[in-house]
Amino acid sequence: MKATLNGTVIAEAPKDDLISIEGNWYFPPSSVKSELLEKSPTPYTCPWKGVCQYFSVKDGDTLLQDRAFSYPEPYPTSFDRVGKDYSNYVAFWKEVKVTE
pLDDT digits (tens, 9 = 90+) for 22-81: 999 999 999 999 999 999 999 999 999 999 999 999 998 899 999 999 999 999 999 999
Q: What sign results for the dihedral spanned by CA atoms 30, 89, 76, 83?
A: negative
Residue 63: per-residue pLDDT: 93
pTM, to two decimals: 0.96
| 3 state SS of 13 | coil
CA atoms of 94 and 15, how far apart (whole Å): 20
Domains and CATH numbers, the chain: 2-99 (2.170.150.40)
Half-sphere exposure for 96 (CA within 13 Å, toward CB): 30
Distant-in-sequence, close-in-space partners of 17: CB < 8 Å, separation ≥ 6? 27, 28, 31
